[in-house]
Structure 1
Amino acid sequence: MREEEIEPGRYRDNPKSRAFIDEMVARHGFARQTLEGWFGQAVYSSTVVRLIMPPATPGRKSWRTYRSRFIEPIRINAGVRFWQQNREALRRAEAEFGVPASVIVGIIGVETIYGRDMGTFRVIDSLSTLAFDYPDVPNREARTTLFRNQLTDYLLWCRDTNTDVFSVLGSFAGAVGIPQFMPTSLREYAIDYDGDGRIDLRSSATDAIGSVARFLQLHGWEPGRPVVWRIAADEGSRGIAAAAADGEPWPTRTLNQLLKAGLRVDEPIEPTREGETGVLVVDLPTPGETTDYMLGLRNFYVLTRYNRSFFYALAVYQLGEAVKAAMG
C-alpha cells in the first residue's frame, strides 16, 4: 500500500472543498463538473498529516548529524555521475544564469539524490489534505492559506500543461520532480531548458538544471561572489559571532561592524574592499559540542529562499563543493 491510511471520498461533498471549487470556477474559469470529479477522487491522507506535524517532543537540532546525512559517499558519488552526464547543461546554466554548477548539483543532490527520491504521494491528495484538513497547530490558518494557494497553482499548472492531475507524484507536502519545486515555483520559475517544447521537471535533468539556476538568479544570486566565509577559531571571534547570531537569514550587518567588534575572518579577503559587504552570522549548533559559526553572504541568503533552514543552505553548498572536489 502506497500510504499508511487514506480516506477516499472525503472531499466529494465537503464544505471546504465546495468553497474552494466555487472560488476556482469564479476566479479561474474551471468547469465545476471537472473540479467535482477531481475532488470526488482525491483522498485524505493521515500519513500526510502525521508527517507535516512538528514533533511532539522537539529535539535539539544537530548540525553535525544533519550534515552527515548529505555530505556522504553515496550522494557525492551520485553527484559526480550526475555532473558527468549533464556537463553541457550545467555549463550552459552557469554561463546564462551566473549560478555555479556546483550549487545546482548541491541542491538537486540534497533534494532528491539526483532524481532518485522524488516522492510517492499523489500531489492532488497531499495538497487537498493540507488545504482542507491541516492539523490543529498554532499557525494552522497561515499554513492552510499557503496550501490552498499551492493547490490552486497545482490545478492551474495541470491545466496549462495539459497534465493529468492524478498522474503527478511528489513529496508529502506537494513538492514535485528532480528539484522538488512546489506548484507556485513550478508556475513561476520552471523552464523548458532542453528545448523539447515542454517543461518536465520529473524526467528531464536539463529542465531541472535550468529551472534551479533560474530560481536562484531571480532571487538575487550574485555571480562570482562567495556563499560563506569561515570565522577564525579563537575564543573572541566565536563570542562575537554568538552574540551577533540572531537567526535572521538576511545580511543585517556589514563585515566592518563585526571586524570592529573584534571578529576575525579565516579567509584571504581584503577588509578595505569587503568592509561594506553585508553578512549574517550562521549558527550551527550540535548538542554536546561547540557550536560552529560562519558568515553568510548574499548568496547564502538566496539559498535559504529555496529552503529557509541554515542547515539546508550550508549542506547544499558543501555537498556541491564535495562533488566538485571529487570530480578532480
Structure 2
Amino acid sequence: MTDKQRSLRRPLLGAALTAAALGLCGVSPRLMAAGKRRVSVREEEIEPGRYRNHPQTRAFIDDMVARHGFPRAELDTYFSQAVYSATVSRLIMPPSTPGRKSWRTYRSRFIEPIRINAGVRFWQENRDTLRRAEAEFGVPASVIVGIIGVETIYGRDMGTFRVLDSLSTLAFDYPDTPNRDARTKLFRDQLADYLLWCRETRTDVYSVLGSYAGAVGIPQFMPTSLREYALDYDKDGHVDLRNSTVDAIGSVGRFLQLHGWEQGRPVIWRIAGDEGSRGIAVAAADGEPWPTRTLNQLTRAGLRVDEPIDLQREGETGVLVVDLPTPDQPTEYLIGLRNFYVLTRYNRSFFYALAVYQLGEAVKAAMG
C-alpha cells in the first residue's frame, strides 16, 4: 500500500464517530465492488479524490494563497487527499421529522450516574488544575467539569472523523437546506482557520481527528476557537486538546473568561411557582440568549424570585427568561444571568447551557 493510499484510508480506521451531545452510533466500513473508488460505511459512502479539481475548492485555494500566503502546491496536496463523506453530510442535516423539544428527556441524557461518576473521577484526578483555573479565570471548577462532561464524557467520546475531511465536506458540499449559504460560509471559515492553525502550530493536517462537524479534543473546540482560545496550560510547548486534560481545562476556563464570565456571580435564579410569576415568565420568554431586561422590569410586572437575594441591590441586573419545554408537561422557566448567557457562547441552546450548569452542580454534590 502506498503512502497516498494509507492517507486516503485513514478516516476509515475504527468506528465512525460519536458526538457525545448527539449520541451518535458508530458504524463500520466495508468495501464496495472492485474497481470503484468509493467505500461504503453501511448505507453511506466516502469518496476520495473528490476535491482534487472541485471548482469550489479551487476558489478556496485561490483565496488562501492570496490572503494568507499558502503555497498553492501545498494546498493542492491537501485537497487531493481530502475525502468527501456522505456520513458527515447526513449527520449535519436536521431530522426529517423533527420531534418536539423535551427538556426532561435532554436533561436525563446528561444528568445521570455514569456521567456524574465520571465527573467525580475527573475532578479528583485534576483537582489542582481545576483549582488553578478557577483562581486564574474566575470560572468555577464545577462549570468547567460540566462543559467537559457534556461535550465528551471527560474525553471518552471525542470523535474519530478526520477534521480535514469533515470540514471539506461541509465547506464544499453542504446539503441543500434553507440555510445552506450561511452554513457553507461558516464551514469555509472554519476550514481556513483549521489550515491556519495547523500551519501556526506545525500540526500535520491529516492527523487531527474530531467530531463530524470538525470539533476537536476533550472540550470540542472548533478551529476558530482553537486559534483564539486554546491554551498551552501544561506549559509543554504545544497545545494538545485531545491528550492533555490540563490544556483542555485551561482552554475552557479561558474561553469562558474572555466571553465575559462574571466571577462569583450566579448562573440562574429560580422563579416562584405562583401563577402571576409564571404568567410574567411566559410573556417575557422571547428565546433570546442575552440579557435583554433588568430584574426590576420583571419584578415590577409581578414576577417573584424564589431566591434569597437583595432585590434592591440586584434590581438593575441584566437578565433573560429561560424557557424549558417538555411535551405534555408544564414548561419550566428560570431567570438566566450574564453567566448563563456566557454558557450559550459555547452552544447557543438553553438546554445545553442548563445541562452544563446542572451536571457540574451534580458532580460537585457527589464530591461530598
Report the TM-score when normalising by structure 1: 0.99
Match of 1:237 among 256, 277, 285: 277
Amino acid at match of 2:115: R
**Greater CA drift, 18-27 or 285-294:** 18-27
State which of 293, 304, 322 in structure 2 corresponds to 1:253. 293
Aligned length: 328
Runs of 4+ in 1 over 2 A off after TM superposition: 1-4
1:291 aligned counterpart, secondary structure:
strand
The letter of the residue matching 1:324 is K
Give the alignment of 1:89-238 within 5 angstroms: 89-238=129-278
The one-letter code of the counterpart of 2:177 is V
What secondary structure is seen at the aligned counterpart in 2 of 1:257?
helix
Shift of 1:41: 0.7
Structure 2 residue 48 is matched with structure 1 residue 8: yes
Give a deviation string over 1:204-245, Cα, whole Å, max 9, x none. 000000000000000000000000000111111111101100
Question: SS at the partner of 1:285?
Answer: strand
1:60 to 2:103 alignment: no
Gaps of at least 5 residues in structure 2 are 1-11, 17-40
Shift of the alpha carbon at 1:23? 1.0
* Structure 1 CA distance for aligned equivalents of residues 233 and 160 of structure 2: 25
Match of 1:43 in 2: 83
Q: Distance in 2 between matches of 1:50 and 1:28?
A: 31
Report deviation, 1:193: 0.4
Q: Secondary structure at the match of 2:326?
A: coil
Alignment RMSD: 0.8
Higher mean C-alpha displacement, 19-28 vs 82-91 = 19-28
Query: How much has 1:303 moved relative to structure 2?
Result: 0.3
**Partner residue, 1:78:** 118
What CA distance in whole angstroms lies between the structure 2 residues aligned with 1:262 and 1:31? Answer: 64
Rounded to whole Å, the distance in 1 between the matches of 2:106 and 2:273 is: 22
How far did 1:26 drift? Answer: 1.3
> In structure 2, what is the equivalent of residue 20 of structure 1?
60
2:47 is paired with a residue whose SS is: strand
Unaligned regions of 5+ residues in structure 1, if any?
A: none
Q: Distance in 2 between matches of 1:208 and 1:86?
A: 11
Q: Which residue of the partner structure matches residue 9 of structure 2?
A: none
Question: Given residue 320 of structure 2, which amino acid in structure 1 is its aligned partner?
Answer: L
Give the aligned residue type for 1:203. Answer: N
SS of 1:20's equivalent in the other structure is: helix
Q: Which residue of 1 aligns with 2:29?
A: none
Deviates more, 1:229-238 or 1:177-186: 229-238
Deviates more, 1:2-11 or 1:214-223: 2-11
Tell me the CA shift for residue 30 of structure 1: 1.1
Which letter maps to 1:211?
S
CA distance in 2, matches of 1:306, 1:263: 29
- Residue 57 of structure 1 deviates from its aligned partner by 1.3
The aligned runs of 1:260-275 (5 Å cut-off) are: 260-275=300-315
**Deviation at 1:175?**
0.2
Q: CA deviation at 1:120?
A: 1.2
Structure 1 Cα separation of the partners of residues 281 and 59 of structure 2: 50
SS in 2 for 1:290: strand
CA distance in 2, matches of 1:14, 1:248: 39
Spell out, residue by residue over 1:184-204, the C-alpha distance to the aligned partner (whole angstroms, 9 max, x if none): 000000010011111110100
Correspondence for 1:316 = 356
Aligned residue number for residue 31 of structure 2: none
Give the counterpart letter for 1:87 in structure 2: R
Q: CA deviation at 1:169?
A: 0.7
Task: Please tell me the residue identity of whatever aligns with 1:190.
Answer: A
Q: Give the Cα separation in 1 of the matches to 2:135 and 2:100.
A: 41
Q: What CA distance in whole angstroms lies between the structure 1 residues aligned with 2:58 and 2:299?
A: 58
Q: Which amino acid aligns with 1:286?
A: T
Structure 2 CA distance, aligned partners of 1:303 and 1:224?
Answer: 15
Specify the code of the residue in structure 2 equivalent to 1:234. Answer: D
Amino acid at match of 2:270: R
1-structure distance, mates of 2:139, 2:367: 18
Q: What code does the residue aligned with 1:157 have?
A: W
Please give the alpha-carbon distance, in whole angstroms, between the structure 1 residues aligned to 2:318 and 2:195.
40
